Amino acid sequence: MTKPFRQASLASTKPHKFNNPGVILITIFDNSQPKAHSAILKYRSLYFRNELTNINRDKNNIKTVNLNDVTIQQFEIIIKYIYGGIVSLEDLDTLFVFDLMVITCEFLFEELAKRLETYLIETKASWLRLHFSKVFQKSFQNNKFQELQNWCNDIIVKHPEKFFESENFTSIQENASISLIKRDDLQMEEVKIWKHIIKWGIAQNPGLSSDPKNWSNDNFLTIKTTLQNCLPFIRFFQISSEDVNDYLQPYRRMLDENLWDDIFKKCLSPNRPISTVILPPRVVLTQTLPPRTTEPFSKIINEAQAAEITSWIDKKADTDGFTPASFWNLCDRQTNLIVVVKVKDTDEILGGRVKNPEYAIYCSSNCGPVFGGRNCDLVIYNSINECWNVQSAYEKRIRNVAYYSGGFSYFSVDEYEIFQLNKKS
């Protein structure tokens, strides 16, 4: 059971008398208009204090605040927090909690946002990993999420190639780039970091040629201005002389004259003193092999089956229970998934990949995994005791058993596991 959050500062707040609390209407996501007291919102929230100051009352002496990105459920939790200082996360979907964290930060409820951030890191790390792109992007849109930023960067610095070489790298925010290149433990050669930062800087200036040979003096000044906050974290003196000649020299006009002179001096005479501060080399992490374990690869499949599947698998996800919410928390918007199902009281193992995109997993709020699109060849409902199979989209029946009229067979499962696949090289 999740312990409710109680606002620490509320207990020390002196009672406040409201002579005329007033009423406001708040228009939210579904056009509902719940009511609240303006004096209480202004007293408890700097955000609402600022908003209400600039809103005039209507003929009925009512102010209306538009919060079109907030759902009624989110607003109810925020109102309970405003009035009582308590938030319960019991039975709340992880995505809902994440979005609630973002919203409460926007409303300047920093204490609550920080508690939600800590809760997600400590109890929902698997969900954060499966939705890493969203988590990374949102965490750097607001510098209040320092713990999440560090959590994301702790993952990236160990295997930065996937991040820096991704299609989305050039669209990340400047503070995200800086947070990574300033890390001592970033596991990448300095010259590669330099090349990626140059690529990012060029992408911020549409129309700028990727070849510095075609740049004018104004172009060099532009890219220097774009990267002015990044350049102090590049460890120029950890780049080999050969790479300096190949990859720094073409951009020397965007570097300060004194810096370039010192880089050149160091290339010619490594022991010669210079005036520029030399940043230390990055720390190379020593990979510690995990201890040998007898824990099986899977609770469902045997070693022979595991050997076949291992070459496909990028990561395995625990199902965290059999509710539809648990399944979709892990699998929503994920690709290349395989679900392996163990049928109760039998040796059957059900699993497979849907090759035709038209018949991929069907989304339903009442179900977990559904194979066969709307035709529903295999369905796992709310309970693992409510599963059924019918031949429709697949060439063969997924279960070769007796079935009722209409072609349906009902069964239960002990458990199922989810794997994400890599393309074979």
pLDDT at 344: 79
Q: How far is CA 333 from the centre of its chain?
A: 12
pLDDT at 385: 55
**Are the CB atoms for 420 and 334 separated by under 8 Å?**
yes
Confidence of residue 353 (pLDDT cuts 50, 70, 90): low
Last residue of a domain, one of 82, 106, 138: 138
**Are the CB atoms for 69 and 31 separated by under 8 Å?**
no
**Distances from the Cα of 317 to the Cαs of 321, 332, 418, in angstroms?**
11, 13, 5
Provide, rounded to the nearest whole percent, the portion of the chain with pLDDT above 90: 33
Spatial CA neighbour of 44 closest among 9, 77, 20: 9
pLDDT at 402: 62
Give a yes or no: residue 143 inside a domain.
no
For residues 105 and 175, state if they share a domain.
no
Confidence of residue 31 (pLDDT cuts 50, 70, 90): low
> Quick count: other Cβ atoms within 10 Å of Cβ 206?
6
Crossing angle (nearest 10°) for helices 146-156 and 132-141: 130
For residues 168 and 260, state if they share a domain.
yes
Last residue of a domain, one of 211, 233, 268: 268
Give a yes or no: residue 281 inside a domain.
no
* CA–CA dist 321, 383 (Å, integer): 10
* CA–CA dist 79, 68 (Å, integer): 16
How far the first Cα of the chain sits from its last, in Å, is 45
Looking up residue 111, the CATH number of its domain turns out to be 3.30.710.10
* CA–CA dist 418, 35 (Å, integer): 44
* CA–CA dist 84, 220 (Å, integer): 56
* CA–CA dist 349, 355 (Å, integer): 19
Interval 27-50 mean pLDDT: 61
Residue 223: half-sphere exposure toward Cβ, Cα within 13 Å: 26
Q: Is the pLDDT of residue 192 over 50?
A: yes
pLDDT at 282: 94
Question: pLDDT (tens digit, 9 = 90+) per residue, 235-263?
Answer: 999 999 999 999 999 999 999 999 999 99
Provide, rounded to the nearest whole percent, the portion of the chain with pLDDT above 70: 64
Confidence of residue 204 (pLDDT cuts 50, 70, 90): very high
Give a yes or no: residue 350 inside a domain.
yes
Question: pLDDT (tens digit, 9 = 90+) per residue, 205-221?
Answer: 999 999 999 999 999 99
The number of distinct structural domains making up the chain is 3
Domain that holds residue 199: 159-268
**Are the CB atoms for 297 and 310 separated by under 8 Å?**
yes
Interval 163-182 mean pLDDT: 91
Last residue of a domain, one of 237, 253, 268: 268
Q: Is the pLDDT of residue 17 over 60?
A: no
pLDDT at 22: 47
For residues 75 and 169, state if they share a domain.
no
Residue that is written with structure tokens 């469902």 in the block: 300
β-bridge mates for residue 349, sequence order:
342
pLDDT at 89: 84
For residues 79 and 129, state if they share a domain.
yes
Confidence of residue 404 (pLDDT cuts 50, 70, 90): low
